Amino acid sequence: MAKNNLISGSIWDEYSNQVVRRMDDPLHQGEITEEQADSLGAKLVVADFGAESCGDAVRLYWAVNEDTNEILSSKFKSFGCGTAIASSDVMAELCIGKKVEDAVKITNIDVELALRDDPDTPAVPPQKMHCSVMAYDVIKKAAASYMNVDMESFEAEIMVCECARVSLSTIQEVIKINDLTTVAQITDYTKAGAFCKSCIKPGGHEDREYYLVDILAQTRTEIEEQKMRDAADLSANDELTFDKMTMIQKLKHIEGVLDVDVRPMLIMDGGNMEIIDIKENMPHYDLYIRYLGACSGCASGSTGTLYGIESILQQKIDENIRVLPI
């Protein structure tokens, strides 16, 4: 694959293969016309959102079944950098098949995680993390238009940085996933605190309920406490059981089994797979995956291959794991 001309030198290594592929060849770029929506028996929804902080903009198209609220088709146009294109491409993909009320639950963290080649390696350099925030916001804009409500009605999150539209839960999760230790790192990854800076610490041009210095300190305390609990569990039980693991530990454990027992077979046939998400739907653990390469178009992906993957994970990790391809 030819290098994208927006990337050169060592910066190239900071982008996942997925990001580079979607920069060059996005799967869902384009538009949905009224005629196309009508042919699906769906309502056309078009929403625009621009990020004042970087000048990028995205237009999102949905074809929505008004009887079920299901998003039958989703496309985008992006006016911005390559990372914005890749983020918008994944964002549009994650919307397909979801009901509108579920699509608004997609966050910028979901978008960035879906762009990773593996769960432990960020998909983009920290200064480009904010591109996924725009994708997160345009979904809410589209849903508000479809449901004829204010965009703010979906704002269940506490916004710490109004300039970059970064929420408390996003900052906490980014700190935990990437093991951040400084406010500067938080700003690099999320853009929180990069502009007016009043959310960094008390004393800025306006008072805030939450400050990055306090969020970092509290989250680091939680991380260290969790490490101590994990160590205690390991000491008491020799090995931490799957149901007692944190979500990150669960993902690492599953990835380890896939790397040894599943991926080598898929790669031999020119394919591969990636984990999109894992959700607790007790008593089950629903593992959402995406097939890559030759596997993405293989009929066995929903039958024999799928059953084989699920069987291996149930035998080696937990009998309640269910594998769901998207």
Within 8 A by CB and 6+ apart from 248, the residues are 119, 176, 177
Query: Which among 95, 131, 161, 295 is annotated as catalytic?
Result: 131
Orientation angle between helical segments 183-190 and 212-237, nearest 10 degrees: 100
Helix (H) or strand (E) holding 300: none
Close Cβ partners of 83 (under 8 Å, ≥ 6 residues apart): 15, 19, 23, 124, 128, 131
Residue 9 CB partners (closer than 8 Å, separation 6+): none
DSSP string, 93-129: HHHTTSBHHHHTT--HHHHHHHT-SSTTS-SS-GGGT
Which is the catalytic residue, given 54, 95, 161, 295? 54
Amino acid type, 47? A
Residue among 191, 190, 194, 214 nearest 202 (CA): 214
Active site (annotated) includes residue 163: no
131 noted as active-site residue: yes
Active site residues: 54, 131
